[in-house]
Every structure is written in structure tokens, then in C-alpha cells.
Amino acid sequence: MTRTWLSAPWPVLQVDAEGIISQANDAARSLLTGAAPGVPLDDAVPHWLARAAPGAVARGRVGESLFEAHPTVDGAGVLWWLMDVTERERVSEALRDERRRTAFLAEASNELLSSLNLDRCMEVTARLAARHLADAALVILPESGHRYPVAYCGPDGRVVRENLAVDPGQVPGLEEALRGFPPMPSRWIDPAAAPGWLAREGLGELGSVVVTALPGHGVPAGALVLLRRAVHAGFSAGEEVFTRLFAARAGAAISAACLYAEQASITEVLMRELLPPRTRRLDGVELAARYRPSGATALVGGDFYDLHPGAPGEESLVVLGDVCGKGLEAAVLTGKIRDTLHALLPVADDHQRLLSMLNQVLLTGERNTFVTLVLASVRRDGPRVRLRLTSAGHAPPVIVRAGGRVEETHTKGTLIGMLEAVTSVTDTVTLDPGDTCLLFTDGITEARGGPLGDELFGEQQLLEELEQCAGMPPEALTERVQMLASEWAGGGDQDDMAVIAITAPVEPRPASERSPAR
Amino acid sequence: MADPLTLTTTPRGGHAVGIDVRGDLDHATAGELLEAATAVLGTAALRDLHLDCAGLGLCDSSGLAALLVIRRRAGEAGVRLHLDHRGAGLDRLLDLTGTLEHLTGDPAPPPGRTRDAEGVRGA
């Protein structure tokens, strides 16, 4: 009987109930050389097919190829139709891999971009690489302080952060990767040559080690080292490409975090520059100063103050200023003003002249911002303190008398840095023992809040509150003023606040031994 | 909350242009006014620039800096700057900073007087 399947282009075997091949077409004979009528299936085909139950599709390899065997049952036994699915399997495997990688890259991007914290970026990179690309991974950043910041993640998924004094020259390609030498994307190294800080305990026998550069924004961000155990050592071409894609994302994130850290440290340095000077006591004069930078943003604020102590018996100069604007520009201008004022100390006996000269210096700059300030020249005169006060566009200081009277000072002048000529009126005030002269910036009077939420704290209210503060030591007075303004503002946005109190001591003894003012 | 800034530029016949300034003039908005005024100052044959301050809310130091830059550019362009309908708040700021006369042509009061006039205890 001629059967049409005998000429089918796919291998087909007919097997009888005893497991003996009863027919095999040409395609089957050329695939399975032993397959012939009368031969037991066991002797002619691979084990997986010989043991296959005739009720279901079986899968297995024949030589290098992957086959599916589809059974159909007819009266004479079972017909096994063999289909070569190698190519189909390869394609769907590749598609699965691709999907997995895309999902992984999306996850990596999300995790990496959600943080500008350098440590976290390193940890995320090491962890993701160890989990998805290798058995263990190590992120190493360029040298910092003769050590290399390292994040290592082993097969257990735990990340260890270290700063290692190691020689990257021990690892071929690592030095180049750290210096950002392009474009040798990844380099294979002999696992046996890997130093102990790379091939760590618990990893077992290494099969492969790859060094990949982490490209940054113009500067090298570091290097990624992938370590695989011997059992699945190889990296396919697709995996290498993929590793580079991952490295590009990780490098960008680490680089951004580095730049941010640098920025943050610049801000910190500038902030430090704006912090109050240490001298708290001038010659026979008590002094307290409080500064609270704006909490609303990370920007450096524009308030500053300085003390320039004079020789005993001579005048000391106290400066409180408020630079218009915020951030780097304001900080740079503040530095310029403070340095200029320092240089101009020899003319401090003439406030108007000093302010004019400062104005001329600032006019050489951009001329689109200004500073307002108060100069207070302070001199001890027996039990009293003599003050020369000059405002340059700034709120005039307030005098809090020991008896509870609050007085405004009569000084007024032009802001500095924008007009060709500046004028000023200086006021002279004498403090008796227990009297305080209060200098403040507009962060105090312009604190917004109160019962209606949008009212200014205002000078009027400050003056009224100060009546209750008579006789307070300067430290307590400045704290009180700052607290009142902060409370007024509640949780709202607050500008920088700076307050200075200059007090004539009640007795010419150190503050700690002094009896209460009243 | 700060009020957003609204600027309306209107020709006022002949050689004058008015800018109606509404809302707060601060660090975030001062640049807008500067830009608008600078654009107007480029107009040919302009002689007077009026900033109508009736709707001006808060004006902080950045706002003042913008006004001073506008005043300088107006002077360079041969244009007179007018700050019309100024409120007490703006006047106080200009007085305190010694810029009232420069910006408005009005003479500034002597030190201390404005505050005494408000009923604040003086010496």
C-alpha cells in the first residue's frame, strides 16, 4: 500500500504496538540513519523520542537540531511526524532575550535616574549588573584621595561599598577605562590573573572577567567589571552590545551624580563663607549675631555680616549687608563686597567715603544688582559705647534702651552698586550700660505670615515687640527677634534672616560673671 | 502665595508708551518686566515710558534692581521713565534705598521723617 506520507518532505516514522519501526520515509532515513522497517525504535532514535508517549507532542535534539515529534495514531500503530524547530526556537529565544533586556534597561534607567546620590548610583549599578549580566559585578570610580571608590555586589545580591588603595594597573584595561580612554568598550581578561579584590571569596572558579568603561558626560565616570563563574562563562555578541548599553546608562547616571555632588560641595563652601564670623566680643562691647539662611531652596542667600575688631580704644567696624538676588551670583558678589570692605578699613572713619569707594568698585561689574548695608563703627567710651551708624539703602538700626524705650536711628543712604553717586547720612548714638543697638535684614521685617497668612511682620510690630525685650542680653535678644519672625512666617517661605545686637555691658566684667541687667 | 505678574503694554499716542504692571515684582518675575521695558525702549521716537504701578503688589530687591536697570537704559535711550500711581509700599522701598529721587525725580524726605510720621516712637 502506497502511503502519501512516504513522500512527505518531513521525517515520518511508523511504529507498531511493539515499538518496532514498521515504516520510515526517505526524510526519516536520512535524518536517523538507523531507522528502517523492523528495527526497534530504541535502537534507531534518541532516547526522548523512543520514550515519547503517543498522546502528546515530544521535543528533543537530533544531532545539533531541535525537533518536535507530533504523533498521529492509525490502525497500524503510531506515526511520528518530526518537525525541525531549531530556527523557530532560536528566534523566539532571541525575542525573549530582547524583551528581557528591554525590561531590564527600563528598570535600570528608572532606578539610576531616580537618584542623584553617587553612592546609590554605584550600588544600583553593581546590583543590577550582578543580577542581570553576571554573577558578581564591581563598579570602580576614578581615583579620589589616592583611593578608588568601589561598589561590589556578589551572587547574594549584597552590595559592599569600599574605598580601596589598589593598583588598577593589575587589571588589564582597567586603568584605561578609568581614564576614559575610548573606545575599547569591553576587554576580556584572564580570570586567573584577576587580583583578590576583584575575584572575591564565595565566587568559586571564575570563567570570565570583562572590564567595561562607564562613559560619563565628557569625563570618565568609572569602570564596570563583570565576573562570571565557569559554568556559564561566555558572553554572546548580543550580551556584549547589551552590556555597553547598560554601561552607557550607568555611566551617565554616575556622572550626573558626581557633577551634582560637586555642585553641592561648591554651594556648601560658599555657605560656609557666609557663616557668622567667630569673634563675639569686641573691645568692651557685647555682641551677638544670628543668621538663618532661607529654608525655601538650596540657594545661597544674600545676607552677610562681618566684624572687624579695632585695636583697644579704637573703633571696631560691624557690617550687616543684604545682597540682592540669590545663588551663585549673590555669593560671588558677597565675597567681592566683603573683600573690598576689608581693604577699605583704613577709611572706615568716614562712612560716606567708604561707601562711595565701595560703590565705585561695584560699578565696574555687571551693574544689574546691588547691596544694601549698615555700617556700625563701635567704640567703648568708659561705661558707654559710642556708635556711628550709616545705612546704605538698608533698614536703619533700632536702639533698645535698658529702660524699655525703643528708638529708631536717623540714618539713611543710597543702595550700593547701581547708581553713579551715592549719598548717606550718618547717625551718632550713645549706648548706656544695658542699651542695645539692633541691626537686622529685611528677612525679619518682611517675614510673611501672621493670622491672615499673607501679612508682613513689619517694622511697627518689631518695634512693639522690642519694647518687651529691654535689658535682655544680646544673645537672648537676637534669638527672640529671629524666633518672632519665624513664628510669624509659620511654615511659609522665609527669606534669609540676619540679626546683630551690639550691647553696652552693664558692668565692665565678662558676661558670665555679670549680674542681671535689672 | 506670590501673585503672578501680568504686563500690558499700551501705546499712549505721540511718543509715549505705558506698561501696566500687575502682580508681584520679585526674583521670579523681575526679568519679565525688564524684558518688556527693554523691548519698548527700542521703539523709535519714544520719549516717555510710563510704568503704571497701581496694580503692583509686592516689590522686592530684585524688582527694585529691575526698575533701576530700566531707568538706566531709558536714560541711555533718551527716554524719561515715569513710575505712575505708586503705592505706599513702593514709595517706602524707594525712600529707604535712596532711589526715590533717581527713579521719580521727586526729592527724598530726610532720614527718620517718614517713620515718625507713621507714629513710631522716635528719640
In this prediction, residue A202 carries a pLDDT of: 79
Give residue for cell 550687616: A320
CA-nearest residue of chain B to A370?
A: B65
DSSP A269-290: HHHHHHSPPS--EETTEEEEEE
CB contact under 8 A, B115 and A418: no
Higher per-residue confidence, A300 vs A42: A42
- For residue range A399-412, list pLDDT tens digits in order: 999 999 999 999 99
Q: Does A359 touch chain B (CB under 8 A)?
A: no
CB contact under 8 A, A396 and B110: no
Q: What are the backbone angles phi and psi of residue B43, rounded to the nearest 5°?
A: -65, 135
Q: How many angstroms separate the CA atoms of A176 and A188, rounded?
A: 13
CB contact under 8 A, A415 and B98: yes
Asked if the structure places residue B66 within a domain, the reply is yes
Asked if the structure places residue B105 within a domain, the reply is yes
Work out the average pLDDT over A501-511.
Answer: 76
In angstroms, what separates the C-alpha of A99 from chain B's closest C-alpha?
Answer: 46
Q: Is the pLDDT of residue B3 over 80?
A: no
**A362, A398, A408, A493: best to mutate for the B interface, most B CBs within 10 A:** A408
Q: How many angstroms separate the CA atoms of A284 and A306, rounded?
A: 18
Q: Is the pLDDT of residue B113 over 80?
A: no
Of B102, B108, B112, which is closest to A410 when you measure between CB atoms? Answer: B112
Q: Does A8 touch chain B (CB under 8 A)?
A: no
Work out the average pLDDT over A455-475.
Answer: 90
In this prediction, residue A366 carries a pLDDT of: 81
Instruction: List CB contacts (< 8 A) between A411 and chain B.
Output: 111
Instruction: List CB contacts (< 8 A) between A460 and chain B.
Output: 118, 120
Instruction: List CB contacts (< 8 A) between B122 and chain A.
Output: 407-408
In this prediction, residue B63 carries a pLDDT of: 94
- For residue range A262-276, list pLDDT tens digits in order: 888 877 777 666 665
CATH number, domain of B104, equals 3.30.750.24
Average pLDDT over all residues of chain A: 86
CB contact under 8 A, A393 and B99: yes
Q: What are the backbone angles phi and psi of residue A368, rounded to the nearest 5°?
A: -120, 15
Q: Does A415 touch chain B (CB under 8 A)?
A: yes
In this prediction, residue B37 carries a pLDDT of: 96
Distance of CA A158 to the CA centre of its chain: 22
pLDDT band at A503 (very low <50, low <70, confident <90, very high): very high
Instruction: List CB contacts (< 8 A) between B112 and chain A.
Output: 396, 408-410, 412
Q: Is the pLDDT of residue A512 over 70?
A: no
Instruction: List CB contacts (< 8 A) between B100 and chain A.
Output: none
Q: What is the ipTM of this complex?
A: 0.86
A4-84 and A96-269 have identical folds: yes
Higher per-residue confidence, A424 vs A331: A424
Higher per-residue confidence, A438 vs A144: A438
Work out the average pLDDT over A110-117.
Answer: 84
Work out the average pLDDT over A235-258.
Answer: 85
Instruction: List CB contacts (< 8 A) between B1 and chain A.
Output: 454
A275-513 falls under which CATH superfamily?
A: PPM-type phosphatase domain (3.60.40.10)
Q: Is the pLDDT of residue A478 over 50?
A: yes
Of B27, B98, B123, which is closest to A326 when you measure between CB atoms? Answer: B27
Instruction: List CB contacts (< 8 A) between B118 and chain A.
Output: 460
Residues on B contacting A at a C-beta cutoff of 8 Å? 1, 27, 60-62, 64-65, 68-69, 72, 96-99, 102, 108, 110-112, 115-116, 118, 120-123
Q: Does A470 touch chain B (CB under 8 A)?
A: no
Give the cell for residue A293.
539662611
In this prediction, residue A233 carries a pLDDT of: 66
Average pLDDT over all residues of chain B: 86
CB contact under 8 A, A408 and B118: no
Q: Which amino acid is at A224?
A: L
Q: Does A418 touch chain B (CB under 8 A)?
A: yes
CATH class of this structure's domain A4-84: alpha beta
Q: What are the backbone angles phi and psi of residue A255, rounded to the nearest 5°?
A: -65, -45
Of A393, A406, A409, which is closest to B97 when you measure between CB atoms? Answer: A393
In this prediction, residue A279 carries a pLDDT of: 55
Q: How many CB pairs under 8 A join A and B?
A: 87
In this prediction, residue A170 carries a pLDDT of: 85
Asked if the structure places residue B1 within a domain, the reply is no
In this prediction, residue A372 carries a pLDDT of: 96
Q: Which residues contact residue A380 at a Cβ distance below 8 angstroms, ignoring those fewer than 6 apart?
A: A283, A284, A285, A313, A386
Q: Where are the domains of chain A?
A: 4-84, 96-269, 275-513
- Ramachandran bin of A361, using left for φ above 0, alpha for ψ from -120 to 50, beta for the remaining angles: alpha
Residue ranges of the alpha helices (H) in A281-428?
Answer: 327-343, 351-363
Domain over A96-269 is classified CATH 3.30.450.40 = yes
pLDDT band at B114 (very low <50, low <70, confident <90, very high): very low
Strand B56-59 versus strand B48-52 pairing type: unpaired
- What's the number of domains chain B is made of? 1
In this prediction, residue A280 carries a pLDDT of: 61
Q: How many angstroms separate the CA atoms of A140 and A171, rounded?
A: 12
- For residue range A172-217, list pLDDT tens digits in order: 888 888 887 655 556 677 888 888 888 888 788 888 888 888 888 7
Q: Which residues contact residue A495 at a Cβ distance below 8 angstroms, ignoring those fewer than 6 apart?
A: A294, A301, A441, A442, A443, A446, A447
In contact, A328 and A349? CB cutoff 8 Å: no
Q: Which residues contact residue B41 at a Cβ distance below 8 angstroms, ignoring those fewer than 6 apart?
A: B49, B70, B73, B74, B77, B79
Of B97, B112, B120, which is closest to A415 when you measure between CB atoms? Answer: B97
Asked if the structure places residue B123 within a domain, the reply is no
Question: Largest Cα–Cα distance in chain A?
Answer: 136
In contact, A308 and A325? CB cutoff 8 Å: no
Give residue for cell 533698614: A395
When mean pLDDT is compared over A96-110, A225-239, B66-80, the highest value belongs to B66-80
When mean pLDDT is compared over A503-507, B88-92, B112-116, the highest value belongs to B88-92
In contact, B108 and B95? CB cutoff 8 Å: yes
Task: For residue B87, give its domain range.
Answer: 6-117
